[in-house]
Amino acid sequence: ASGVAFAASNVTLYGVIEEGVVVSKAKHADTMVDLKAGFDSGNRWGIKGVEDLGNGYNVGFILEQGFTADNGDEGVEGKAFNRESILYVNGGFGSLAFGRTGGLAFAQSQAIRTGWVFGTGYGSSAWNAIDFVAKRMNNVVSYASPAIAGFTIHAMYSNSGANELANDDKKWSKNGHYYGIGVKYQANAIKSSLIFEATQNKNSLLGAVDQKGEAGVVTTEEKIKNHSAKYGINYGLEWDLGAITPMFGYQYVWQDGGNKDHQFGLSAKAPVAGGTVKVGARYTFGKNDGAKANEEDKHNAWLIGAAYEYPLSKRTIVKSYAGYADGGKAWKDESETKYNGYQVYLGLCHSF
């Protein structure tokens, strides 16, 4: 009987394991050679399933755990399914989901962002490398409308904000909050999305801080100093022309007393010699309203990157990548690869 129930619910075990070597050089830093897990595709395993309720309705779930393949550590300490833990219902009304997942402009099953060939992977070429409103969140309610002429409407709310260390209080008004609304178009050869997000981490924490006192070292939790709401707009467009798929992405993120950033990206992918070539260039500029009087308040950065993915089989891919990023003004002296330096990668990705 249990075997019949298992088959009827259509449960699937799946996962991704990616390992590779990254050679990187940042300004004012030594050249580093690292064994890197999940440089592009985050390492994960998961269980997903769906049950047909009849009359066009079904119930499904996704339980997905992230980990680092080089040492076996879990992605987020203390969370059994740190990437996604969600239950959803589909029907003529659309889709309604509850649980832990990524924001509309980030990743996971409810995300709709388009327009950047590297997505949220490939190191410094990741779309979220400079700034982002929301990544993964708890206590999410997400809705997607039925498709009408290729258009779907998406709405999402979270009662934990956009910080992994959210410390939710019992009082609703003191919790962190996320609000997202977006429109996605997908028909024929075109994909496009427009997303607006807002988040306020009223009761979130930066993490544990060691402070020295008369009694020795005491670990305390440091709260985020700037509780002002943060807003973001993402627009993306992809057009599959057959021989090549060009893409355009734009992001604007702003916060009172903080950074106001514009980000533009042009990228494309094309089949070459049995594999796929991906290339992209991104430019970011903005201003930090919270800068001190003697500090540079403007910043900018540009990045170029190229990748080649070659399938050894239906489930195993060899990946290679090279990218260079350069920062100017307030970021010109930052000793971080994402602003001033290069990355070269060669790795193997297996899906099951």
Over residues 324-339, mean pLDDT = 79
* Percentage of residues in the chain having pLDDT higher than 70: 84
| SS3 (DSSP) at 152 | strand
Q: Which two tokens stand for residue 247?
A: 């893409």
pLDDT at residue 46 above 60? Answer: yes
Q: What is the predicted pLDDT for the residue at 209?
A: 47
The CATH number of whichever domain residue 305 belongs to comes to 2.40.160.10
CA distance 273 to 286: 40
Give 71's pLDDT tier (boundaries 50, 70, 90).
confident
* Pairing state between β 94-102 and 84-91: antiparallel
Q: What is the pLDDT of residues 159-209, one digit of tens each?
A: 876 655 555 555 777 778 899 999 999 999 999 999 999 988 765 555 444
Radius of gyration of the chain (CA): 21
Query: Has residue 15 been placed in a domain?
Result: no
Q: What is the pLDDT of residues 124-153, one digit of tens each?
A: 899 875 567 788 888 999 999 999 999 999
CA distance 95 to 60: 10
In this structure, what is the dihedral angle of CA atoms 63, 69, 73, 75, given to the nearest 10 degrees? -50
Q: What is the predicted pLDDT for the residue at 326?
A: 92
In order, the DSSP letters of 83-126 are: SEEEEEEEETTEEEEEEEEE-TTSSSTT----S-TTTT-SGGGS
Domain residues for the domain of 93 are: 20-351
Query: Has residue 11 been placed in a domain?
Result: no
pLDDT at residue 295 above 90? Answer: no
Over residues 296-321, mean pLDDT = 95
pLDDT at residue 351 above 90? Answer: yes
Q: Which two tokens stand for residue 131?
A: 């700034």
In this structure, what is the dihedral angle of CA atoms 225, 227, 231, 232, given to the nearest 10 degrees? 40
Q: What is the predicted pLDDT for the residue at 42?
A: 92
What is the tally of structural domains in the chain? Answer: 1
Query: Has residue 6 been placed in a domain?
Result: no
Question: Poorest-confidence range of 21-35, 100-114, 304-318?
Answer: 21-35
Over residues 34-41, mean pLDDT = 93
Over residues 31-58, mean pLDDT = 94
Query: Has residue 5 been placed in a domain?
Result: no
Over residues 269-276, mean pLDDT = 97
Query: Has residue 265 been placed in a domain?
Result: yes
Q: Which two tokens stand for residue 216?
A: 């020795």
E strand spans, 106-189 = 136-144, 151-158, 177-187
**215 φ/ψ angles, rounded to the nearest 5 degrees:** -90, 5
Query: Has residue 202 been placed in a domain?
Result: yes
Mean pLDDT of the chain: 86
pLDDT at residue 26 above 70? Answer: yes
Query: Has residue 3 been placed in a domain?
Result: no
Question: Poorest-confidence range of 36-45, 60-69, 83-92, 162-171?
Answer: 162-171
Over residues 269-287, mean pLDDT = 96
**304 φ/ψ angles, rounded to the nearest 5 degrees:** -130, 145
Query: Has residue 2 been placed in a domain?
Result: no
